[in-house]
Chain A
Amino acid sequence: MSPKGVTLNTNSHKIKFARRFIRTLLRMRKNAPSSSSIEEIRKRSQRIKIAAYSSMAHAVGSRRAWSRAILFKLRNRARHHGMMRRRSMKKRVIKNDPPGDQSQTNKLRQLVPGGKAMDMCSLLEETAHYIRCLSTQVKVMQTIADHFSK
């Protein structure tokens, strides 16, 4: 099934993502020492997670709104990472909405990157594509983890 809005997640996405991700993992391996402390592992896992999302976004390219949102976020992060730590700390004020009041669309908007500025129709479309890419990502990561854990 390939309806007009959502394109097929072909092999190309998978391959691109896999390549990028593994390259990033290798780089991380080289840079960071392999320590087993919890903090290190947590930091590394966080970095790996970001690497996974960014490589997926790069694999998809700028075609999709959610991938654009991720790339934009990454670039901003890279820009402000060193310079404006204070500001970024301020920006991390989380709105404490009572969980019951959150509507479902709002939840979905929070889940899908870039979903806050979309209307319902395109939000659903982006969600569909995002789900496809996420599942691809999970599969590849699982394969990699499986390979390493053998």
Chain B
Amino acid sequence: MENEFFLNPALHFEPPSASIMATWHSLSAAMDIQIQGTEQSQDCFFSSNADQSVHFDSALSSMVSSPAASANNVSNDSFVIRELIGKLGNIGNNSANNSCYSTPLNSPPKQLSLPMTDHLVKENLPSLGKSMPLNSCVAEFSADPGFAERAARFSRFGSRSFNGRTGQLGLNNTEFQKKPNLLMGNGNQNLPRVCSSPSLKAQGSQTGAQENKNSSPLQDSQEESTISEQNPNGDSNSRKRKAVSRGKKEPPSSSPSANATKVGEANDNSKAKRSKPNEDNGNGNGNGPVKAEDETQKSSADKTNAKPPEPPKDYIHVRARRGQATDSHSLAERVRREKISERMKLLQDLVPGCNKVTGKALMLDEIINYVQSLQRQVEFLSMKLASVNTRMDASMDSLFSKDIFQSNNNLPHPIFPLDSSASAFYGQQPQQNPALHSNISNGTVTQCSVDPIDTALCQSLSMQLLPLNGFSESVAQYPNFGEDDLQTIVQMGLGQNPSRETALQPQSFHGSNQIPHMKVEQ
């Protein structure tokens, strides 16, 4: 019950306390509150937020001890209420975990203007519930005996009993009533749309009950933002209210004159946002800490949204984002699409040269090409092994011991095996080219060695034996695939321009070097 009290009077800090004063003026008149502050405490409140703790204590004592009428033009009641809110804000500042609270508190005192207007009051009244954060405040306030008194009195503002006690508060009460209904109604309505599981609904109802318990429905979503901070994994309700609170945080930093419109906007925004769960809320204004907290909240919301399978239970919890359909089919569809896009990103890292390619179709093309080229390479290498088998000796043991395990050991430096292979190819070419030339010139003997390779080329590479231009073009299409073996085969098969070959070799060499780097980075 005390909670409700503390939350209610301290509800509103965002508009200048002038409006607060007017508001509470009317309310307090009805409630017959005799609390009065002193000018001294007012100065403390208004002057500086730096020494808040000191002022807080002094102000409290002054408030509790004697209700001396202030000689200001400000009415006593409203002043006191302003003070109350100031103290609540100070408590918020004192507490460790409420960075967001400090900023709205810091800003308004500078903008305070003593003259107040009733229209501001009326407009601001509905938004009262949205401002102050009070989880921590509540705890500290409860220690104060004076506030306990007022708690008892203000407890009539409590949400559960709130709707019942219309007569006590007069006109403004109706506004209060509307808002909680709106809030709770929308909150409850939003629950089934967003939840993709009964467990979430249960959670949502729990949080709904929790909200009822802790505060009036006017209560600020900032408080729920604290709840959401405490439960990062997933109160849908709290996240929704967080979105509302972000809208509400905008006004505090603005000037009082513009506040009316802004608060009106914020109200509309909040309503609109309540109808759809909101993820992105443009923070036009914003002090640094407010923005920081918004961003952290947003990032946490984004994180949780980015990984929809966040399972407290066996269901996959998906969050419907703003502007998106919320029925189960589209949600499942979206989950599937996100999974697929995730896998495509993986593949993008695997397939070299795919960083610039965007879009599923192009990526699939690249992937298909790459897999085909790899399979062709396997086929070609097997052909090569088959033809080379003739020269296989008992060097198998040496092969076992040396090469494979060397390449394995060099996995952190995979460039070495490829270096050796590439250099081997380099070394081979001058040897093989004259050999091929001689073979070709001989004719008969060469048929055995050259033809299988040529046929293999034709079959596996599905390339015709074009002039080297064509080959260079087609090879250049896959510069990063490290098909240095292909190039060497091309050169071996054609046995043409050594200059072109040397020109192509560095390209392939660099290409082959790129691949191991990429693979090591994984």
Contacts and interface: CB of A to CB of B under 8 A. Distances in A.
Contacts of A36: 387, 390, 448-449
Interface of A, secondary structure class, is: helix
A121 B452 contact: no
Nearest to A138: B377
B399 A147 contact: yes
B351 interface: yes
B389 A44 contact: yes
A124 B336 CA distance: 12
Interface in A25-41: 25-26, 28-29, 34, 36-38, 41
B351 A15 contact: no
Interface stretch (B128-136, B154-162, B368-376, B500-508): B368-376
Interface string A45-68: 111110011000000000000000
A18 B404 contact: yes
Contacts of B428: 149
A38 B451 contact: yes
Contacts of A125: 343, 346
Given A3-B342, A128-B350, A131-B351, A108 B385 contact: no
Contacts of B349: 1
A101 B101 CA distance: 62
A21 B359 CA distance: 38
A111 B383 CA distance: 20
B24 to A, nearest CB: 55
Contacts of A45: 379, 382-383, 385-387, 456
Interface residues on A, range: 35 or more
Interface in A99-150: 104-105, 107-108, 111-112, 120-121, 124-125, 127-128, 130-132, 134-135, 137-150
A11 B375 CA distance: 21
A75 interface: no
B347 A131 contact: yes
Interface stretch (B48-56, B175-183, B416-424): B416-424
Contact of B368 (A19, A46, A111, A121): A111
A48 B396 CA distance: 16
Given A144-B403, A145-B385, A149-B384, A135 B408 contact: no
Interface residues on B, range: 35 or more
A141 B378 CA distance: 8
A69 interface: no
B472 interface: no
A8 to B, nearest CB: 7
A15 B405 contact: yes
Contacts of B452: 38, 41-42
A66 B323 CA distance: 40
A26 B424 contact: no
A48 B386 CA distance: 7
A74 interface: no
A121 B451 contact: no
A89 B428 CA distance: 42
Given A44-B386, A111-B371, A130-B371, A49 B378 contact: yes
Contacts of B485: 142
A18 B404 CA distance: 7
A149 B390 contact: no
B336 A127 contact: no
B381 A142 contact: yes
Given A1-B522, A105-B364, A148 B421 contact: no
B314 interface: no
Contact of A140 (B340, B350, B364, B407): B407
B374 A131 contact: yes
A22 B522 contact: no
Contact of B347 (A42, A48, A128): A128
A137 B378 contact: yes
B424 A150 contact: yes
Given A36-B448, A107-B368, A48 B382 contact: yes
19 contacts: A1-B349, A1-B521, A3-B346, A15-B404, A36-B387, A41-B386, A48-B385, A52-B378, A104-B361, A104-B365, A121-B336, A121-B339, A128-B346, A134-B375, A138-B381, A139-B417, A145-B384, A147-B399, A148-B392
Interface of B: 336, 339-340, 342-344, 346-347, 349-351, 361, 364-365, 367-368, 370-372, 374-375, 377-379, 381-392, 395-396, 399-400, 402-405, 407-408, 411, 414, 417-418, 420-421, 424-425, 428, 448-449, 451-452, 455-456, 485, 515, 519, 521-522
